[in-house]
Structure 1
Amino acid sequence: MNEYLKQYIELQKQFRETEGDPDSVRALYTFKEKLELSEDKQAKEVLVDVYDLLDFKKDAYELLCQIGNRSDKKTLKRLGILKDYAKNWGNHYALPRPKTPEEKQKEKERQAQLGLPAFRYHPNPLETGAFEESADGVVCDCCGKTTHIFYTAPFYAVEDIAYLCPECIANGEAARKYDGSFQDDFSVDDGVDDPEKLDELIHRTPGYSGWQQEYWRAHCGDYCAYLGHVGARELRALGVLEEVLDDPMWDDEQKEMIRESVNGGHLQCYLFQCLHCGKHLVWMDFD
C-alpha cells in the first residue's frame, strides 16, 4: 500500500467517523490540492477517490478516463457509474470547503471589486448561482447597459425578461419597471412586522431557484440571509446540522428527512441564517 493510499484511508476514516465535520472536509481539500500538484500515477489514482468522496463527479470521471485500466472490469464498472453522475451532476453538488473568516472577507472584497451591490438577504449571490458572470457581457433589459454579471434566478413578471444587472435589482428599478418581484410575498415566514423589510426582500433582493415555490425563512423579527442549496453532508461540513434541526417548524419525521437529505436529490434543503443572532435555519421541498 502506497503512502498516498494510506493517507487517504486515514482521512476517509476521519470523514466517516465525524460524519463529514468541517475539520475533516478541510483536511480532504488540503490533501486534494496536494495530489493535484503531483504527476505520480499513484497520486492520481488516489485523487480519483478523493474527487469521488467529495462529489466532484465530473473531475473523478475525467481523471479515471485518463489513467484507468479499461481492461479491468472494476474500472469499467466504476467508469460507468461515474459517467452517469458526471452527466447529471457534473461538479455542481461537490461538498464545499468550509470557509475561514479570512476567506469570507476575501469573497466580500472580490464582490466589491466586481461592483456587485451588497444584498442583505442574499449576501453571496454569485456563489449561490443567482448571478452568473459573462466575459463578453450582456445587455440588461431594464437599463440597457452592458453588464458582465447577470441574474439567473426567478423573476416574477408578466413580461419575459432575459437579462437583469445587479444594480437594477438592488435599486428596485427592475421590480418597478416590470411590476415584478423576486420572491412571492405569501411564501415567507411570519413574524416580520416592518413592511419595508418585506419590500426589500421581494423587490430588491435576488431570489433563489427551488424545486417548488421558493420560501424565505425569518428569525428575530427579520428575514434571514439565504446561503444556498444544501443536503445533510453540507450541513455537517458546516457544523450546523443539529442547529437547523432545533427548529419548531419540523416534526420528528421531517427532521429525519433533513438528516437523510442529499443536495440535488429528490428532497432539497435551502440554508438560511439569521442576521441578528446567527442561527441557521432550512427550508425544504421535493422535486
Structure 2
Amino acid sequence: MNEYLKQYIKLQKPFRVTQGNPDSVCALYAFKDELEQSEDKQAKEILVDVYDLLGFKKSAYDLLCQIGDRSDKKILKRLGTLKDYSEKWGNHYALPKPKTPEEKWKEKERWAQLGLPAFQYHPDPLDTGAFEESQEGVVCDCCGKTTHIFYTAPFFSVENIAYLCPACIASGEAARKYHGSFQDNYSLDDGVDNPEKLDELIHRTPGCSGWQQEYWRAHCNDYCAFLGYVGARELRAMGVLEEVLDDPMWDEEQKDMIQESVNGGHLQCYLFQCLHCGKHLVWMDFD
C-alpha cells in the first residue's frame, strides 16, 4: 500500500463517518491540493478518488481518462459511471471548501475596497450572486451612471428594469423611483415589530432568487442575514446542519427533507443567520 493510499484511507474515514463535517472537508481539500502538485502516477490515481469523494465528477472523469488503464474492466466500468455523472452535472455539485475566518474577512475587504455599500441583511451579495461584475460596465437605470457591479436578483416593480447599481439599492432610490421592492413584505417571518427594519429589508436590501416565492427568515425580533444557497452537504461542511434542524418551523418529515437536500437540486435550501445570537436558519422550496 503506497503512502498516498494510506493517507486517503485515513482522511476518507472521518469524512464518511461525519458525513462531511468542516474539519474532514478541509483536510480532504488540503490533500487534494497536495496531490494536484504531484506528477507521481500513484498520486494521480488517488486524486481521482478524492475528486470523486468531494463531488468533482468531471475532474475525476477527465483525470481517469488520462491515466486509466482501459484494458482493466474495473477502470472501464468506473469511467462509464463517472462519464454519466460528468455529462449530467459536471462539477456543479462539488462540495465547497469551508471558508476560513481570514477568507471571509478578505471577501468583505474586497467589497469595501470596491467602494460598495454594506448590506446588513445580505452581507456577501457578490458571493451569493445577487450582483455580478462587468469589466466593460453597464448603465444603471436608476441613476444613469456607469457601474461595474450590477444587480441580478429579483426586483418587483411595474417597469422592467435591466440594471441597478449597489448605491441606488442601498439608498432606497431604486425602490422609490420605480415603486418597487426587493422582497415581498408578506413572504417573511413574523416577529419583527420595527417598521424601519421592514423598510430596510424590502426597499434597501438586495434580494435572493428562489425556485418559488422567495422567503426571508427572522430571529431575535430582527430579520436575518442571507448567507447563500446550500444543501445538506454544505450545511454539514459548515457544521450547522444540526443547528438548522433545531427549528420549530420544521416537522420531522421536513427535517428529513432538509437532510436530503442538494444545492441546486429539486429541493433547495437558503441559509440565514441571526444578526444578534448567531443562530443559523434555513428556508427551503422545490423547483
Fold-level similarity (TM above 0.5) = yes
In the other structure, the counterpart of 1:134 is: 134
Partner SS for 1:281: strand
Measured in 1, the distance between the counterparts of 2:64 and 2:161 equals 41
CA offset digits 1:94-123 (Å, max 9, x no partner): 222222222221221111112232110111
CA offset digits 1:175-223 (Å, max 9, x no partner): 1222221111100000011111111111111111111111000000000
More displaced stretch, 51-60 vs 105-114: 51-60
Quote how far apart the aligned CAs of 1:59 are.
3.0
Quote how far apart the aligned CAs of 1:83 are.
4.3
Partner SS for 1:97: coil
Partner SS for 2:6: helix
Matched, 1:219 2:225: no
In the other structure, the counterpart of 2:18 is: 18
More displaced stretch, 110-119 vs 40-49: 40-49
| Closer/same/farther in 2, CA of residues 89 and 171 from structure 1, 3 Å limit | farther
Quote how far apart the aligned CAs of 1:79 are.
4.2
Matched, 1:5 2:5: yes
More displaced stretch, 236-245 vs 166-175: 166-175
Measured in 1, the distance between the counterparts of 2:201 and 2:268 equals 22
Quote how far apart the aligned CAs of 1:53 are.
1.8
Q: Could you tell me which amino acid in structure 2 is paired with residue 142 of structure 1?
A: C
Measured in 1, the distance between the counterparts of 2:74 and 2:152 equals 40
Quote how far apart the aligned CAs of 1:40 are.
2.2
Measured in 2, the distance between the counterparts of 1:117 and 1:61 equals 42
In the other structure, the counterpart of 1:233 is: 233
Q: Could you tell me which amino acid in structure 2 is paired with residue 254 of structure 1?
A: Q
CA offset digits 1:57-81 (Å, max 9, x no partner): 3433433344344555544554454
In the other structure, the counterpart of 2:33 is: 33
Unaligned stretches of 5+ in structure 1? none
| Closer/same/farther in 2, CA of residues 179 and 266 from structure 1, 3 Å limit | same
In the other structure, the counterpart of 1:55 is: 55
Q: Name the TM-score, length of structure 1 as normaliser.
A: 0.92
Measured in 2, the distance between the counterparts of 1:204 and 1:87 equals 40
The CA RMSD over aligned residues, in Å, is: 2.0
CA offset digits 1:120-157 (Å, max 9, x no partner): 01111111111122222222222222222222211112
| Closer/same/farther in 2, CA of residues 199 and 49 from structure 1, 3 Å limit | same
In the other structure, the counterpart of 1:122 is: 122
More displaced stretch, 51-60 vs 160-169: 51-60
Measured in 2, the distance between the counterparts of 1:263 and 1:13 equals 24
Partner SS for 1:127: coil
Q: Name the TM-score, length of structure 2 as normaliser.
A: 0.92
In the other structure, the counterpart of 2:202 is: 202
Q: Could you tell me which amino acid in structure 2 is paired with residue 283 of structure 1?
A: W
Q: Share of identical aligned residues, percent?
A: 84
| Closer/same/farther in 2, CA of residues 88 and 113 from structure 1, 3 Å limit | farther
More displaced stretch, 248-257 vs 90-99: 90-99
Quote how far apart the aligned CAs of 1:225 are.
0.5
In the other structure, the counterpart of 2:257 is: 257
Measured in 2, the distance between the counterparts of 1:132 and 1:87 equals 27
More displaced stretch, 196-205 vs 216-225: 196-205
